Structure 1
Amino acid sequence: MGKRRKSSRSGVADASGAGRAEKRQKIRDVFVPRPFEGLTDEPEWIALRELVPAASAPLTLTPGLVEEYGDRPVTLATVLPMATPAITKPDGRIMIGLQRHVQSGDVSRDLAEALLCALRTEPGGTVSVPALPGEGPRLPDVLVDGPLDITMHEGFEFWLDPGADEDPNVKASLERANASIYPTVRLSAAPAAYWCRVSDKSHVRWVLPDDEDAALDTLSRLSAAGELTLGAETKFAGMFRAHGRLVPVWDLPRDAAPESWEAPLADFAKRYAAALADPAPLDAAGRRAKQGLLGRQLTLR
């Protein structure tokens, strides 16, 4: 959050000053640690925002917005050209970007405002989105909630319309984005679990659906029992904290096929579920393991 410039006039109370104070209050930033809380696919929203380079999913407007703006197709994208928040196509389609340069402390509010700004923009026009949208609708207020129908992409060509004469800046952004993309595969063994290959290593990353404290205790219990890996030649690398959820990460042999990790992850998910259901407090070994895990976590924000 940027610093506000102080007024050069102090000690003066007038109507215009009160108006400015009211305006500043309206756009005050507020940090929301779990912006996707309450959504059916909360872990997938987190994964698409923080872990997945190129993917998309259709979204459904609420009946009220359809009545007001028409049934315009809306697509959620991991990122859009030049990390813009939203674009409108000449045929009325809308795309909303999860990963963007400018954002407030409430990602859900940012995305809802980007969608509303796109709906108010003429098809094919440039969408203007405020950096700090202030109070207003959030994702559950503008979308029909439900599971995300995610499509993975090897590149960002899904930005472009076949045969359309795209902006040269968009094409340049596409080339840069494709050059930086890393292979990523969505796994079916657990929701919001993804295999990826980054540099000289491969990884499995899984956004856990459970409360952070419960998930941490569960991972600690498994660590103390020596059951935190995905099998031979794998290593528990640590975990991210992302939007109120934990994301354990495993280092894998680089060249093993992504599908070869479906069974090991499914087995781990069963061990995780059993440990999560254990009502006993952590023993001494579990508490020591917990301290070790806390030292190997990184917060994504």
Structure 2
Amino acid sequence: MGKRSRTRTRPRTTTTTAGEVGPRQPCPCGSGRRYKACHGAPGGASAVFVARPFEGLASECDLVALRELVPSATAPLPLVGEHADRRVTLCTLLPMAAPAMVRDSGEVWLGLQVVHNFGDPSRDLAAVLLAALAQGEPGIVGLTEPPGEGPRLQDLVGDAPLDITVHDGFDFWVADSPDAADVAGALDEANGQVNPTTRLSSVPAAYWTDVTTKEHLRWVMPEPEGPLLDALARLHVTGQDVLVPDSRLVGMFRAHGLLTPVWDLPLGTGAEALEEPASRFASDLATTLASTEDLTSEERAARNGLAHRQVTIR
């Protein structure tokens, strides 16, 4: 009679269904934490999680870029309705990572790189913005509790592309008060962490950056992930994804429901050299997205490689 196995049979781990996020996978909100410790936590915000919070806004892709990968940038935020006469500036990051600030002039600065974990960044930003607009004196404004069923950013701003200015640092924090000693330390620290970044003018939401050891192009794209991966795979097989000599599409990351392909570039490339190749690639991509043919075996292999080639955001 054979001996019994001393290895106990472990219960099978429940797998996730298609499109479901596993507990140990990164949370789709972009916080960098595992899903089970973020929107998948018991009593957390998973019930109100919005996968694509800025959908419908003309600058959806740029909003994702400014929130996730651009160090320092600003843009006037045109409001509609009762607050249309108020001056609001959208900022990637504010001193002390403040959600919003009311300036001495009454202008409101709204910070994008703030994680509230209430499930819908668009509603979070709208709640902070309304609180800042209602505040009668200068100071910092933030959220201390979930915003509830209030308006979203789409309800408060005009439907037009943002006029984005990318900065070399955060000196705009003190542009109207250069002797502001209270933020001097934070300013020096923040400036020391800024990598040179440029927004391309020939295509939307594409940002060149120099991280010292290499250069990258990170391009937030609005197309649905499946068709976009198919198109990128087709272009990869034909070599049409090579923007400049020795450049390489190395992978992509996902944030706020959108896919961001990332290219490695040779040192010394610079942003200007990418303008024409990026425009050409955008045209090729649009043509390829219209294809209804099945992927070849080589294209399927390329697609699988791209889909599993994740890169870090910063």
TM value normalised by structure 2 = 0.81
Q: Percent identity?
A: 47
> How many angstroms apart in 2 are the aligned matches of 1:156 and 1:76?
13
| Counterpart in the other structure of 2:154 | 140
* 1:226/1:149 CA distance change after superposition, 3 Å: same
Shift in Å at residue 298 of structure 1? 4.7
Deviation at 1:65, TM superposition (A): 3.1
CA contact (8 A) 1:241 1:298 kept: no
SS of the residue corresponding to residue 190 of structure 1 reads coil
Is the CA contact (8 Å cut-off) linking 1:104 and 1:110 kept in structure 2?
Answer: yes
- Structure 1 equivalent of residue 50 of structure 2: 32
Alignment check: 8 A CA contact 1:90 1:124 kept: yes
Structure 1 portions without partners, runs of 5+: 5-23
Shift of 1:104: 2.2
Q: Is the 8 A contact 2:220 2:258 kept in 1?
A: yes
Matching residue of 1:72: 86
After the TM superposition, which parts of structure 1 deviate over 6 Å for at least 4 consecutive aligned residues?
A: none
Q: Secondary structure at the match of 2:48?
A: coil
Whole-Å separation in 2 of the counterparts to 1:133 and 1:165: 36
Contact 2:253–2:310, Cα closer than 8 Å, also in 1? yes
Structure 1: distance between partners of 2:194 and 2:66? 14
1:230 matched to 2:248:
no
Structure 2 residues not aligned, in runs of 5+:
1-37
| Amino acid in the other structure paired with 2:67 | R
Deviations 1:134-180 (A, max 9, x none): 22110011212211011111111112243465361x22211111000
Q: Which stretch has the larger CA shift, 271-280 or 97-106?
A: 97-106
- In the superposition, the TM-score normalised over structure 1's length comes to 0.85
Which of 202, 205, 216 is residue 203 of structure 1 equivalent to? 216
User: Matched residue of 1:122: which SS?
Assistant: coil
Q: How many pairs are equivalent?
A: 275
Question: 1:266 and 1:143 mapped to 2: Cα distance?
Answer: 29
- What is the CA–CA distance in structure 1 between the aligned matches of 2:131 and 2:92, rounded to whole Å? 18
- Shifted more, 129-138 versus 83-92: the winner is 129-138
**Amino acid in structure 2 at the alignment position of 1:153:** H
Change (3 A) 1:28 1:216: closer
User: Shift of residue 101 of structure 1?
Assistant: 4.4
Is the 1:28–1:134 Cα contact (8 Å) retained in structure 2?
Answer: no
Does residue 258 (structure 1) correspond to residue 265 (structure 2)? The answer is no
Output the aligned Cα RMSD. Answer: 2.1
The partner residue of 2:120 within 94, 106, 110 is 106
Structure-1 separation of matches of 2:253 and 2:195: 19
Change (3 A) 1:28 1:116: farther
Of 168, 192, 196, 1:154 maps to 168
Measure, in 2, the Cα distance between the counterparts of 1:28 and 1:101.
15
Is the partner of 1:79 in helix, strand or coil? Answer: coil
Asked whether the 8 Å contact 1:29–1:104 carries over to 2, the reply is no
More helix by share: 1
Separation of aligned partners in 1, 2:142 and 2:239: 52
* 3-state SS of paired residue (2:140): coil
User: What residue number does 1:44 align with?
Assistant: 62
